Structure formats: C-alpha cells, structure tokens
Chain A
Amino acid sequence: MSTVRVLVGTRKGAFVLTADGTRERWDVAGPHFGGWEIYHVKGSPADPDRLYASQSSSWFGQVIQRSRDGGKTWESVGNKFVYDGPVGTHLWYDGTPRPWEFARVWHLEPSPGDPDTVYAGIQDAALFRSNDGGQTWQELPGLRTHESASAWQPGAGGLCLHTILLDPTQPARMFIAISAAGVFRTDDAGKSWRPMNRGLRSEQIPDPTAEVGHCVHRIAMHRSRPRVLFMQKHWDVMRSDDAGESWREVSGNLPSDFGFPIDVHAHEPETIYVVPIKSDSEHYLPEGKLRVYRSRTGGNEWEPLTKGLPQRDCYVNVLRDAMAVDALEPCGVYFGTTGGQVYVSANAGDSWMPIVRDLPSVVSVEVQTLP
C-alpha cells in the first residue's frame, strides 16, 4: 500500500508526519532543527528520499539542510547566497531606494528530473539554483535585474520570492511570484523574464492595473495542464488560461476573496481549494469558522468544506505555502494553521481530521506520495 509523508515547516522546527494510504493513523517525527524557523521543506520528485529544508533564524541567519533518507537524518549544506553582480536597489516601504539584501530562503523547489538540482526563492526577491545538491548556489540574475525591479516594493512579509512553478512540459519555462511585484515567467530557463500580471487589479496601488506591483500571494497549476494557472492574490482569486498572459477573476461566491494558499486537486484540474481570510488587516478566519472552499468548476462557484473543522471561535490563518495535495485516490488535501494544527482530508475535502493539533505555528506543508 502507498504511504504519504507530510513535511511541515513551523516557526520552531520541522516535523515529518507519515501514514499509510488510508491516512487515518499518523506517526509524528520531530521537531527537527528545534527552535529555528523552517520556512519550507520539500522532497525531490526524482528521489523522494532526498529532502531539502530552509532553516533560518534572526540570530544565526540561513542554513540549508538536506536529507538523503526521507528526513530521518539531515546534513547542513551550502548557505551562501550571493547576488550575481551589482545588487541595485528596489523601493523600501517609504518609497526610497534600498539595496537588495539577502534575508532568507522562502521556498525550495527541487527539479523533477535531478535530485541534485534545486531552486531557491529568496528575500530580497531573487531566484537561485543549485546543481550540486545544495552545496553551492548561483543566482539566475535575469529576474532581479529585470527593468521593472527598481520599482518593486516589499509586501508586509518582505520582498520575497515565495512561489516557483516548473512547467512539466517545457523545461525552460518557469513561473515565479513575488510579494509585492507579481508573477513573472521565463521561457529560456531563467535568462529573461516577463511580468505576467495583465488582468490583475489592485486598488491598493497607485495604478490599479499596473504591469508590476501586485501582491500575489500564491499561484498553482495542475501538471497535466500547465497553461492554466490559479492565483490567490492579496485580494481576489484569479485564473489564467494562457500561461499567465492574461488573468480573470474567479472569486465568485467566496465569503472573502482575501487569503494566502491556493492548490489544485491531484486528479481533477478544475477542482481548486482556497481558505478565505477575513481581510488584509485581520489575518484570521471570517466568523470564527475554519472553512476550506472548493470549486469544481475552476473558480466562480465555491462550496464550503466544514466537516471535521472547527466552526466557532477559530481565528487562525493558513499561510501561502501551508496547503498541499497528495496523489492518492481519492485525493488527499492537507493544510496547516498558524495555531499549530495540521489537517488532512482523505476524500478531497469532504471531511477533515487533525493529524496534530499543537505544533508551533505552521509556515509550510508539503506532501509526498510514496509507493
């Protein structure tokens, strides 16, 4: 029987949760790297026992950890992230120029074909790649030196490159998202980039329809249909059917279209999930109810999924990288909260149960489906 391994990053360490394909009884291992912020843990599709973790601390900076045995043991690898060439400036919160400065790694995206190749999205926003299993890191500077970059401004969490999507059908094509610059796409393996934000509208910026400057919280795709992208923006849930060339709003009947995560069902490319949050000034759930919303129509028509989730006095948040799906049948859906709960649905969202209730605040959740 297949097994699933859930990789959880929290404010105070990493946890590895495992279960068989029924997803009913769970083993919880951790904390790994106790006391450190773990922004992201992700496994290699090419070698599921190869994991990478971003470990950071305000005191001690950035560490990258690598496991070769599915998270049982770890070794620290390279943590030197040096921008390639003159760093230039972006805009600070007050509108003044500020030199690019490395703060942390938000997201690690292993290559689908080579366990030694992994991409890192960092703050201040840039894309790095390692071809030697994380020992050394090289920037793909075409993004940071894009002609619009001097006008990028950080979101509340910093100028972070938080999402990396690798197109499974075109190896040279990648999508990345930056708060608060927006979505960019490369078709030449990172040498050059184009903003992909046409159709986004953000009332909070001087030109609501600007080509860059949108606070994109996360984007997602189904690997069978990489031209279709879904986006949770600061406000608005969006969809693109042309690989990011244009976007249209699909918020529909959501109670709030503010939120952070968005993900796609493993087997149904038109089934998507979001967790609406009350507002950008109140980062908690509307009405004290933890509701995942599912659309089976690729947006616009949404249904609340509540069975097994608290429906009163619940005021947590679900961060942008804290939702994932497994590849089993029926599809499993997972998410972690800022209150330390990790929930699983083994039936595509129809009902939920907590795997753990009392972890540190959850930053990221990834799932591996193992034979």
Chain B
Amino acid sequence: MIRVVLPAHLRTLARVDGEVKVDVPGPATPRAVLDALEAHYPMLRGTIRDQVTQQRRAFIRFFACAGDLSHEPVDAPLPEAVAAGHEPFLIVGAMAGG
C-alpha cells in the first residue's frame, strides 16, 4: 500500500479525509501511483496531470521523504520508504498566486 497525501481541494473533490492508500501493482513509481489513484478516484482525472499528455499540471508538485520529486522521471522508482508505506507520497498544490 502506498500512502498518498492530497491537497485539501482534491480531498474535497475525492470525498476523503486525511491520507488515502492505494495498491500499486509492480514497481512503485509516480506514474504507477497516479494510475492507481485515478483508477480508484476517477474524479481526480485531469486535476493532477493532463488527461491526454499525462504531463503534471504546472502548479502541482510531488514531494516525498523531504525531497522534491516533481522533476524526476515519472517512471523512476519512488524511495523505498514510500514503496514500503512508511512515508507518504505528497501531492502538493504549489504556493503560487498569493
């Protein structure tokens, strides 16, 4: 199980409180986590990454284990602590726009 922390607006949209947990078959990567997240919460499609290009939206960031993974390849393995469920994968709305 991968633990995912969503920004407040997306928790409201997905109708969840706190962290969500998703099963990721195979290697834990940002792409695999987002695929699993969107499969379970289809209302999140298009709010984190573009539905056609799959590009991360400009004001979204991915953090984990005190690191910024936003610019890492989406198929790069996530830190072992995230893959093991010890640390969450953070989806963050960038501090932009005041």
A62 at the interface (CB under 8 A from B): yes
B52 and A76 contact, CB distance less than 8 A: no
From A58, A76, A80, A82, B13 is in contact (CB under 8 Å) with A76
On whether the beta carbons of B46 and A59 are closer than 8 Å, the reply is no
Interface string of B16-53 (1 = CB under 8 A from A): 00000000000000000000000000010111101110
Interface membership of chain B positions 60-98, coded 1 if the CB is closer than 8 angstroms to chain A and 0 otherwise: 100000000000000000000000000000000110110
Partner of A57, one of B9, B45, B50, B52: B9
Q: How far is the CA of A188 from the CA of B5 in the complex (A)?
A: 49
Are B97 and A63 touching (Cβ within 8 A)? no
**Number of residues on chain B facing chain A (CB within 8 A):** 20
A35-B9, A36-B9 known; A63 and B47 CB under 8 Å? Answer: yes
Interface-central residue, A58, A59, A79, by most chain B CB under 10 Å:
A59
Find B59's partner among A35, A59, A82 (CB 8 Å cutoff). A59
Q: Could you say which of B12, B43, B50, B94 contacts A59, with CB atoms under 8 Å apart? A: B94
Number of residue pairs A-B, CB distance < 8 angstroms: 45
**Bound CA–CA A34/B13 (angstroms):** 11
0/1 string, A26-46, CB within 8 A of B gives 1: 000000001110000000000
Which of B9, B51, B96 meets A60, CB within 8 Å?
A: B9
Closest Cβ of chain A to B8, distance in Å, is 8
Taken together as a complex, chains A and B put the C-alpha atoms of A348 and B46 apart, in Å, by 43
Tell me, in angstroms, the Cα distance from A34 to B9 when the chains sit together.
9
Could you tell me the dominant secondary structure of chain A's interface residues?
Answer: loop
| Chain B residues, CB < 8 A from A88 | none
**CB <8 Å contact, B9 and A58:** no
Contact B57 A61 (CB under 8 A): yes
B1 in the interface, Cβ–Cβ < 8 Å?
Answer: no
CA distance A36 to B43 in the complex (A): 15
Task: Give B95 Cβ to nearest chain A Cβ, in Å.
Answer: 10
B51 touches A59 (CB 8 A): no
Residues of chain B lying within 8 A (CB to CB) of residue A59:
7, 9, 57, 59-60, 93-94, 96
Count of A interface residues, CB-CB < 8 Å: 14
Residues of B within 8 A of A35 (CB): 9
Distance A61 CA – B12 CA, assembled complex (angstroms): 15
**Bound: A280/B60 CA distance, A:** 34
Among B47, B50, B96, the one with the most A-chain Cβ atoms within 10 Å of its Cβ is B47
Q: Is the CB–CB distance between B43 and A76 below 8 Å? A: yes
Taking a contact as CB atoms under 8 Å apart, the answer to whether B9 and A61 are in contact is no
- Name the contact of B45 in the complex, choosing from A34, A80, A82 (C-beta under 8 A): A80
Q: How far is the CB of A54 from chain B (nearest CB, A)?
A: 13
Instruction: Judge whether B45 and A60 touch: CB under 8 Å.
Output: no
Q: Is A82 within 8 A of B57, CB to CB?
A: no
A306 CB to nearest chain B CB (Å): 36
Q: Which residues of the other chain, A, contact B7 by a CB distance below 8 angstroms? A: 59-60
Interfacial residues, chain B to chain A (CB-CB below 8 A)? 7, 9-10, 12-13, 43, 45-48, 50-52, 57, 59-60, 93-94, 96-97
